[in-house]
Amino acid sequence: MKKIERNIIKIEDLLAKKEKCNVLFFNYDNEAFMNTGIQESGATPPFASTTTGPAGEKIPGKIGVKQDLVIPMAFFGGNSIFLATVNPAYPNDFMGKTIEALKTDGGSFIQAYSDCMRGWRHAAGDAVKVAKMATDSGYWPLYTIRVKNGLPKFSYYRGLDVDREIFIEYLKSMGKFKHLFRPTMREKEIDQIIYFTELRNKRLRNLIEVMGAEKPSDLYKLNQKKLEPQTHLQPGHGLCPGCGAGMVLNQLATAATQVAGKNIVYVNNTSCSEVSTSKDNVSSWNVPWVHHLFESGATVAEAISVAYKIRKTKGLFDGDIPYVINIGGDGSYYDIGFQFFKAALIRTSSILEMNEYLNQK
């Protein structure tokens, strides 16, 4: 690869931008249907043990790859989209990307690594260590795709190289992969997980080579001490201790607070993040928050954004159009709600320019 010149992105510059996304679709990926008892999803990695694909003597957990949800979204015909992966173990990159996503015209989609101590079986105190290893091993690369005028440009922050040593340590750190190491070491399966990861990263590298941004290595300059504390989510939710979704929601809300203040609506698909922030009919949210189904959350988020714009064009609303974020787990984004999320992302990235009620800024 040619020598890389870093693309330095300053948060002040992002916050000064006039662009505004219609909906940020936000998937926190804990790699199974956790809320209902750790069932396998399209996001579950190969050979992970779940309650519907438990590791036994013959079948060592999930037989199938971890599907790719982010890259294909660049090729469904959307016009203006911001796409990225994030990991709460890298908060500057996480919050920088979230701010840029909200400050991009069209649709945005972010996929967050979200560890689950309960379903993955590791100590609650290891959450950050596990999350950091995910990216450092090459398992969870951090990259970005900016689609402008229909043309995707790829870039990355880190995690493109597979480090075999960290990778094996990563697998060993979780009970869901315990059967790969005990009673005997299953080298074939371990090699296969690494092989599929390398294959995926090679594809990503190729896309960066062929369709890379002018400066394909991004670095967000963000001073965490200068950020406003988040005002969206109250402390005291019902998530497990050390839950990755807790870190994810906190960083998401912190980034969103910088951009939107309190002018925001969240739509939360059925999931751990939803039940744990709406226990006993008391919501943990200080801003408008809607619970909707797997199949409808993305469409409802889009409808809220579109309805505000139509009302504004017709002179029925004279306030600032709110930001809208749709939060969902991997069960809803990869599987049960996939077609609705995909359609809503592509519509929010293209339809507004085509609709006379919506294309007036």
Ligand X SMILES: Cc1ncc(C[n+]2csc(CCOP(=O)(O)OP(=O)(O)O)c2C)c(N)n1
Q: Which is nearer to Mg ion, 91 or 331 (by Cβ)?
A: 331
How far does the chain reach from its first CA to its final CA, in angstroms? 41
Are the CB atoms for 53 and 64 separated by under 8 Å?
no
Q: Mark 12-51 with x for binding to ligand X (rule: CB under 6 A) and - for no binding.
A: ------------------x--xxxx----x----------
Question: Given the complex with ligand X, which of 33 and 140 has the nearer CB atom?
Answer: 33
117 belongs to the binding site for ligand X (CB under 6 A): no
State which of residues 244, 266, 330, 347 lies at the interface with ligand X (CB under 6 A).
330
Residue nearest to ligand X (CB): 329
The residue count for binding ligand X (CB under 6 A) is 18
- Whichever of 34 and 180 has its CB closer to ligand X, that residue is 34
Q: Tell me how many degrees the CA angle 113-108-138 measures, rounded to the nearest 5.
A: 30
Nearer to Mg ion, 155 or 271 (CB): 271
| 297 lies in the binding site for ligand X (CB under 6 A) | no
**Under a CB-based contact definition with an 8 Å cutoff, are residues 314 and 277 in contact?**
no
In the list 45, 53, 96, 329, the residue contacting Mg ion (rule: CB under 5 A) is 329
The residue among 155 and 270 lying less far from ligand X, judged by its C-beta, is 270
Are 317 and 310 in contact by the 8 Å Cβ rule? The answer is no
Residue 152 CB neighbour total at 10 angstroms:
18
- The stretch near ligand X (CB under 6 A) out of 44-52, 103-111, 246-254, 268-276 is 268-276
Q: Of Mg ion, ligand X, none, which one does residue 36 interact with (CB within 5 to 8 Å by kind)?
A: ligand X
Q: Which does 340 bind (CB under 5 to 8 A by kind): ligand X, Mg ion, none?
A: none
Considering only 100, 136, 274, 330, the residue that binds Mg ion (CB under 5 A) is 330
CB of 120 to ligand X, least distance (A): 11
- Mapped to the 3 state alphabet, what secondary structure does 163-229 carry? CHHHHHHHHHCCHHHHHHCCCCCCHHHHHHHHHHHHHHHHHHHHHHHHHEEEEEEEEEECCHHHCCC
Provide the 10 A C-beta neighbour count for residue 274.
22
Scanning 102-110, 121-129, 281-289, 328-336 for contacts with Mg ion by CB under 5 A, the matching segment is 328-336
User: Which of positions 300-329 make contact with ligand X (CB under 6 A)?
Assistant: 328-329
Rounded Cα distance between 151 and 106, Å, is 13
**Nearer of residues 217 and 278 to ligand X, judged by Cβ:** 278
For residues 350 and 77, the answer to whether their CB atoms sit within 8 Å is: yes
Beta bridge partners, 233, equal 285
Q: Are 323 and 256 in contact (CB under 8 A)?
A: yes
Spatial separation of the C-alpha atoms in residues 307 and 305, rounded to whole Å: 6
Residues that bind Mg ion (CB under 5 A): 30, 34, 329-330
